[in-house]
Amino acid sequence: MGASLSNLTEGSNGTAMGPGLGDIPESCVACVFTYLTPPEICNLARLNRAFRGAASSDSVWEMKLPSNYQDLLDLVPPERYQNLSKKDIFALLSRPVPFDDGNKEVWLDRVTGRVCMAISAKGMAITGIDDRRYWNWVSTEESRLHLGRFSKRLGRRVSSFEHTHGWDIKPVTFELSTCDGQLASCEHYLDDTEQDYDNGNHKRGCWIDYKVGEFIVNDSEPVTEVRFSVKQIDCTHSKGGLCVDSVFIIPTDLKERKRKGMLK
């Protein structure tokens, strides 16, 4: 049965104690850990030294990592992960790992260990991007991506809202499709008037998430190619002042839990 965390329970009033959390074999402790999230396991490390050991074991963390975690590690220079324990690898991968020249990031959700990805606007094809009458690249400090560097000083908010107009007239179309025939599409007005607060009609410069759709990846071979787009083809009215930041690809139930207000 292996070693146990024995001698760690103390009885009160000298009464004879039955087995406690400290007396069960390592394999049972590992079984308990399968029902705990990484933050909860890290929390247990603070109980005492033996729990710290149990909470750092490779076998526990190997189960929390996704099966393809080596693919994520391949995006990181080898010297950064060579001698790391599985727990440290999880910690490393839970922070965004940039790739594709910094246009994309991938990371593990801390609670579920599932893989999430963000694609910056720089990694997208934008019609008319080279024409400064239509699009400008703005400061990256306000981006939700990390793009390798960020400063700690107060950032100047670049977007000014007087220019935002025309998005409440007609909706834009969001679409996604996969190479194996999955399709999703929806329409949204890019107008957040329902989210106004005491500031009245003043648009507050918050990033708004629009859900494009869901897709299922059944197998890692062949690779599932996903295409997504936002379109509004309409020249009957003028529009402007839109900031596009990034696209997030995250596991569906993560968004559910976020919406229900549970955990991250």
Q: Which residues in the 54-113 window bind other proteins by CB under 8 A?
A: 91, 94-95, 109-110
User: Where does this chain touch other proteins (CB under 8 A) — which range of 26-34, 76-84, 161-169, 180-188?
Assistant: 26-34
Angle 251-230-145 from CA coordinates, rounded to 5°:
55
- Residue 220, interface with other proteins (CB under 8 A)? no
Residue 106 Cβ, how far from other proteins at the closest point, in Å? 12
Residue 55 Cβ, how far from other proteins at the closest point, in Å? 8
Q: Which is nearer to other proteins, 144 or 237 (CB)?
A: 144
Q: Which is nearer to other proteins, 22 or 212 (CB)?
A: 22
- Residue 127, interface with other proteins (CB under 8 A)? no
> What DSSP designation does 92 have?
H
- Residue 22, interface with other proteins (CB under 8 A)? yes
Q: Which of 3, 17, 138, 158 binds other proteins (CB under 8 A)?
A: 17
Characterise 184 by phi-psi region: left (phi > 0), alpha (psi -120 to 50), beta (else): beta
Characterise 218 by phi-psi region: left (phi > 0), alpha (psi -120 to 50), beta (else): alpha
- With contact defined as beta carbons under 8 Å apart, do 119 and 104 qualify? yes
Residue 35 Cβ, how far from other proteins at the closest point, in Å? 4
- With contact defined as beta carbons under 8 Å apart, do 75 and 115 qualify? no
- Residue 44, interface with other proteins (CB under 8 A)? yes
Which tokens in the block code for residue 254?
Answer: 């993560």
User: Where does this chain touch other proteins (CB under 8 A) — which range of 181-189, 205-213, 220-228, 229-237?
Assistant: 205-213
Residue 255 Cβ, how far from other proteins at the closest point, in Å? 8
- Residue 213, interface with other proteins (CB under 8 A)? no
Which tokens in the block code for residue 171?
Answer: 């909706």
Of residues 134-193, those binding other proteins (CB under 8 A): 141-146, 150-152, 154-156
Sequence-distant (≥ 6) Cβ neighbours of residue 249 within 8 angstroms? 116, 117, 118, 119, 226
- Residue 123, interface with other proteins (CB under 8 A)? no
- Residue 194, interface with other proteins (CB under 8 A)? no
Phi (first) and psi of residue 20, to 5 degrees: -125, -170
Phi (first) and psi of residue 128, to 5 degrees: 80, 15
- Residue 226, interface with other proteins (CB under 8 A)? no
Q: Which is nearer to other proteins, 137 or 197 (CB)?
A: 197
- Residue 114, interface with other proteins (CB under 8 A)? no
Residue 45 Cβ, how far from other proteins at the closest point, in Å? 6
- Residue 49, interface with other proteins (CB under 8 A)? yes
DSSP 10-70: --STTPPP---TTTSBHHHHHHHHHTS-HHHHHHHTTT-HHHHHHHT-HHHHHHHS-TTHH
* Residue 61 vs residues 70, 75, 105, 109, 110: alpha-carbon distances, Å: 14, 20, 22, 14, 12
